[in-house]
Structure 1
Amino acid sequence: MPDATLYDRLGGEPAVGAVVTEFYDRVVADDGVAHHFDDIDMSEQRSHQTKFLSAVTGGPMQYEGDDMETAHEGMGVTAAEFDALAGHLDDALREFDVADADRTAVLETVEEFRDDIVEPP
């Protein structure tokens, strides 16, 4: 599939959903970042994140949430926490044997949102 989107190469909605589930399993087990999700409906969060990741990788799902800056305003996410979250995403992608180039592409896409998510000290 030479014209396949990153979303297609990841395996579409079922695969993206599985990666998101694995990602959040890792996140909530990490005491360094889990506190950001204490009062969050994780089922809804997983659905929301699946739509977001699908949209930014070229999939057909539409992300209808707040922009990243608004969604993360006041959360106090640090650069180190962002790095930890990105690491969990990378590990989740590795868990599903996503090709190195595709993992890199997903992480580069997420990195584009760093300034909107991380709050200055």
Structure 2
Amino acid sequence: MSEETLYHRLGGEDSIEAVVEEFYDRVLADDLVNGYFEDTDMQKQIAHQAQFISSVTGGPVEYAGEDMRAAHEGMGITEEEFDAIATHLNDALVEFDVPGEDREAVLEEVASYEDAIVGA
């Protein structure tokens, strides 16, 4: 029997989308980072982020977006802003009662892209 993926432990597509919606509610309420999303179609952004998280957690989804460096190039994202985003993601996962070990695994996946995002 194969090991259950993080994607499945998170509850699959619908649960991940709900977490992402909560995550962006938190991001948009944070003056440190919400300026990055002023001219963003948030429905499209939510779908895009849910696809990304589904992909990196082993779901049956292939991420079709730009690579992280290209997507964030010229934005000048700081370490502090990256950390704020990670905190919002963690808090959204907590809101949906995701166990600590699984939250850590999601945050480790996101952290693996830090060098491509910060200062790009």
Q: Provide the TM-score with structure 1 as the length reference.
A: 0.96
Q: Deviations over 1:15-71 (max 9, x none)?
A: 100000000000000000000001110000000000000000000111101000000
What SS does structure 2 have at the residue aligned with 1:75? coil
1:16 and 1:2 map into 2 onto residues whose CA distance is: 21
Unaligned runs of 5+ in 2: none
- Deviations 1:58-101, CA, capped at 9 Å, x for gaps: 00111101000000001111000000000000000000000000
Gaps of 5+ in 1: none
Alignment length (residue pairs) = 120
Distance 2:67 2:4 in 1: 26
AA matched with 1:46: I
Alignment of 1:104-115 (within 5 A): 104-115=104-115
Match of 2:99 in 1: 99
CA drift of 1:2 comes to: 6.5
Q: Which residue of 2 aligns with 1:78?
A: 78
- 2:62 aligns to what? 62
Q: Runs of 4+ in structure 1 displaced over 6 angstroms?
A: none
Amino acid at match of 2:26: R
Give me the TM-score of the superposition, normalised by structure 2.
Answer: 0.97
Task: Give 1:38's aligned amino acid.
Answer: E
- Give % identity: 59
